[in-house]
């Protein structure tokens, strides 16, 4: 465990790990990834750091409902609860847990963490639901001082911390409301009038080499390693810096080198001993846009699936369009046949037995390492497959000649946006993608919140249009949400649930 901390936090003074306030004020902390969410690397790192600072950590695991979290917290008489989540639906679940803590008269602080969480969301949405401290923890290095201030026996320190927190979060809420009031928005009708203008008569639309889907079974892990983007790997371990320059960094360079060497050693074992399997499924279909929807068609031209996109509603500068993904597919009115692709890949088949083996040996370091590497390999698979799509399977960029740095910087034609990310923040669109691909055939399933299992998995869509680009949806108004719910055939409340962070009302 301490080996893991050595790599995680080389910039924290050793005496803080050995003694300090945390050691004097150690308590019992329950950690859980909330209902519907399966990601736990960040939570595991926080648990390791807290445990090395003399806190008793109770890790409940992933996909834990609120009632189980609170029941365990009561039975174990914990001093603090920590919630983790990666996907946006987890934000609502955290609000629910905080609400339940208030209803059940809990008197322990609540920590909030995870990739999609933020100080702003915690201050605006979660903290008002609970009367005791609710603290957003940016990373594992912050968990120790936060826990120390919240659990210290020094009442004056504890009170001062809470009062400062309340004042800071109050300012954040005021700033949020002011920003919301001043943000210039336009109606969905106006936004559609300002869509991307594409001359479809002069657009080069390339027909894929096949339509329908194709499965890649047991894809060689060794072929994915050259496509790994190592910078996020170091971020996972909370080492700030870009690869490869991070290896020479004056602060974290020594530990970064050790971490990288250990990662390469484990990758060699993964390949040599077949620890993990990589599988993928992808395909292409005829498609046309219909407003902000994308209609997929069979070979006989009959529509059989609909993908729903959302449009930016923030007021733009002159000649800057309000984008929607549907803009990049030829409209039905053009009478031009266009295409769209979809994919799902994983590099996490077989990971469970190795994680269990490491955890049984209390080897937190290698347990976190294999999860982090599986995530990187899945992303590498997505990168590798996209390249093969562009140059071979779809073939709209056969002459492409881009090195790995260029791939990381997305210096290629076409995009592969994922449901749940900025251009398409609605995670529920994954359901359509998985129905299309039959992701379960390669061992990928969806949770009730549309998180993917295994966690080392990536899915998304392929757009080939030369004008297609990544963008952030931003905030949307109720007129678009009413229209969106009608198009999806869902209650507006359900659509709002999946898009809560994007709502401007």
Q: How far apart are CA 139 and CA 148, in angstroms?
A: 15
User: How far apart, in Å, are the Cα atoms of 478 and each of 180, 239, 423?
Assistant: 14, 41, 18
Catalytic member of 39, 121, 136, 386: 39
The answer to whether residue 39 is catalytic is yes
* 90 is annotated as an active-site residue: yes
Distance of alpha carbon 13 from alpha carbon 251, whole angstroms: 12
CB 41 within 8 A of CB 113: no
* Chain centre distance of CA 208: 30
Structure tokens at 416: 């592969």
Q: Which of 7, 21, 84, 90 is catalytic?
A: 90
Number of H helices and E strands in the chain, helices first, is 18, 13
Measured CA to CA, the distance from residue 65 to residue 144 in angstroms comes to 26
Cβ-proximal residues to 156 (8 Å cutoff; 6+ apart), any chain: none
Distances (CA, A) of 434 to 39, 47, 66, 437, 489: 19, 33, 28, 5, 18
**Would residue 37 show up in a list of annotated catalytic residues for this protein?**
yes
Positive or negative, the CA dihedral 68, 31, 352, 278 is positive
- Identify whether the C-beta of residue 395 lies closer than 8 Å to the C-beta of residue 284: no
Please give the full DSSP string across 156-187, using - where no structure is assigned: HHHHHHHHHHHHHHHHHHHHHHHHHHH--B--
Contact 79, 52 (CB under 8 A): no
Q: How far apart are CA 98 and CA 132, in angstroms?
A: 10
3-state secondary structure of 110: strand
Q: Which residue is catalytic, options 21, 37, 79, 426?
A: 37
Cα angle 30-33-34, degrees, rounded to a multiple of 5: 105
- For 249-292, list the strands marked E by DSSP: 277-290
For the annotated catalytic residues, the residue numbers are 37, 39, 90
């Amino acid at each position: 465990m301490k080996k893991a901390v050595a790599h995680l936090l080389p910039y924290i003074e050793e005496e803080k790990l050995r003694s300090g306030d945390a050691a004097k004020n150690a308590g019992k902390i329950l950690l859980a990834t909330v209902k519907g969410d399966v990601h736990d690397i960040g939570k595991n790192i926080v648990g390791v750091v807290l445990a090395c600072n003399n806190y008793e950590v109770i890790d409940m695991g992933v996909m834990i409902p609120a009632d189980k979290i609170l029941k365990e917290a009561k039975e174990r008489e914990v001093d603090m609860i920590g919630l983790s989540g990666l996907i946006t639906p987890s934000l609502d679940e955290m609000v629910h847990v905080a609400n339940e803590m208030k209803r059940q008269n809990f008197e322990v602080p609540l920590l909030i963490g995870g990739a999609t969480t933020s100080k702003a969301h915690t201050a605006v949405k979660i903290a008002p639901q609970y009367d005791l401290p609710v603290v957003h923890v940016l990373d594992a290095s912050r968990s120790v001082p936060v826990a120390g201030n919240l659990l210290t026996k020094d009442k004056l320190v504890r009170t001062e911390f809470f009062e400062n927190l309340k004042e800071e979060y109050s300012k954040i809420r005021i700033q949020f409301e002011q920003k919301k009031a001043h943000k210039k928005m336009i109606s969905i009708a106006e936004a559609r009038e300002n869509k991307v203008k594409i001359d479809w008569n002069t657009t080069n639309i390339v027909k894929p080499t096949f339509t329908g889907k194709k499965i890649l079974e047991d894809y060689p892990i060794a072929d994915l390693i050259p496509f790994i983007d190592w910078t996020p790997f170091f971020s996972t371990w909370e080492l700030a810096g870009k690869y490869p320059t991070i290896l020479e960094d004056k602060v974290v360079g020594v530990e970064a080198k050790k971490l990288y060497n250990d990662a390469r050693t484990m990758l060699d074992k993964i390949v040599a001993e077949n620890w993990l399997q990589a599988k993928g499924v992808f395909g292409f279909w005829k498609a046309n846009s219909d407003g902000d929807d994308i209609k997929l068609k069979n070979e006989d031209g009959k529509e059989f699936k609909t993908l729903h996109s959302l449009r930016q509603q923030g007021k733009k500068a002159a000649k800057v369009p309000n984008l929607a993904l549907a803009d990049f597919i030829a409209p039905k009115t053009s009478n031009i046949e266009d295409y769209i692709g979809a994919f799902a890949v994983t590099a996490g088949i077989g990971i469970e037995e190795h994680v269990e083996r490491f955890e049984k040996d209390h080897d937190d370091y290698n347990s976190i390492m294999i999860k982090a590497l599986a995530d990187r390999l899945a992303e590498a698979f997505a990168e590798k497959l996209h390249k093969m799509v562009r140059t071979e399977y779809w073939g709209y960029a056969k002459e492409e000649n881009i090195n790995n740095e260029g791939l990381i910087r997305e210096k290629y034609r076409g995009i592969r946006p994922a449901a749940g990310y900025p251009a398409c923040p609605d995670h529920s669109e994954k359901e359509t993608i998985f129905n299309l691909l039959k992701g379960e055939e390669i061992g990928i399933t969806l949770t009730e919140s549309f998180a993917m299992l295994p966690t080392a998995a990536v899915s998304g869509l392929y757009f080939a249009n030369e004008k297609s680009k990544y963008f952030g949806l931003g905030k949307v108004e109720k007129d678009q949400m009413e229209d969106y719910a009608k198009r999806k055939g869902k209650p507006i409340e359900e659509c709002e649930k999946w898009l809560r962070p994007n709502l401007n009302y």
